[in-house]
Amino acid sequence: MDAIEEIKKLKALLDQGAITAEEFNDLKKKTINDKLLIPTTESKSTDNSQSASKRRPSLFKKILLTIVLAIITIMVVLAIKYKEPIRQRIMGGKKNQNVENKDIIYENGEKLGVLITKRFTQTHTNNGLTLSVPAGKIWTPLYFEVKVNIGESYNYSIPYIYPDKYATGGWFIDTKYSFPIKADFVSYKYSKRNNKALAGDFAVLCDRVYSDKLNASIVLYFLEE
């Protein structure tokens, strides 16, 4: 029943004297509460429920987006941090051997320094080369290799390191020591501890072997720190 109709009936009862003015007011308030206020409250509750249900997907999307962004950030940070070790693993730690090659050296995930490669061809007129370590750097001799063409006749001797120079330009023979051979190479850390580090000017020379058939390419490897 409509609230207005209900109130009209109550007014008729009041006019007939069936109810008092106080009873009329109480019944009118009750009718209004029953017919108008309760549905309004239920409607608000329903609206709030629908609004909450609409908000839940939006909140879920925000959480999902935050997680995705966090994963992407972590991947980028890891990629930057391990870029060089991964490249070293893929490339084998070395580039193509040129006259001088530089590459970063890692061992067990630790950055040790830069690989320096030097090459010279030993002939009866050439038995080595003079090198100069950049200021503020030190070079540790790692090992040497001999590169020759298959079937080519050659002779070579173990290269020696001459760290001390005469004032006139020659080299002190008494202070020379053998360049490490590849078969003795264990690790870069081991070489740093056991092979003598070099600074400034020095020479790597082979004992002269006088032969027309001499033609060996000597490749020297250093670790620069």
Secondary structure of residue 142 in the 3-state scheme: strand
- Indicate if 179 and 218 belong to the same structural domain: yes
Q: Does a structural domain hold residue 88?
A: no
**87 lies in a domain?**
no
pLDDT (tens place) for every residue of the chain, 225 residues total: 566 777 778 778 878 877 888 887 888 788 777 765 544 444 455 555 555 555 556 788 888 888 999 899 888 877 776 655 555 444 444 443 334 456 899 988 889 999 999 998 887 778 889 999 999 999 999 999 987 765 555 666 789 999 998 888 789 989 999 999 999 999 999 999 899 999 999 999 987 665 555 667 889 999 999
- What pLDDT score does 150 carry? 54
Helices (H) and strands (E) in the chain, counts: 5, 8
Taking the model in full, what pTM does it have?
0.53
pLDDT of residue 54: 55
Is residue 211 a part of any domain in this protein? Answer: yes
Distances (CA, A) of 38 to 30, 43, 50, 190: 11, 9, 18, 87
Q: Are residues 76 and 185 in the same domain?
A: no
Q: List the domain range (segments joined by +) for residue 152.
A: 94-224
SS3 content of the chain, % helix, strand, coil (to 5): 40, 25, 30
pLDDT at site 222: 95
**Whether 72 and 164 share a structural domain:** no
Q: The domain spanning residue 212 has which CATH number?
A: 2.60.120
What pLDDT is attached to residue 58? 76
How many structural domains comprise the chain? Answer: 2
Whether residue 166 sits in one domain with residue 200: yes
Please report whether residue 86 resides in a domain. Answer: no
Q: What are the tokens at 91?
A: 């490339």
Can you give the pLDDT at residue 180? Answer: 94
Q: Is residue 160 part of a domain?
A: yes
Q: Are residues 73 and 107 in the same domain?
A: no
Helix (H, G, I), strand (E, B) or coil at 70: helix
Same domain, 58 and 134: no
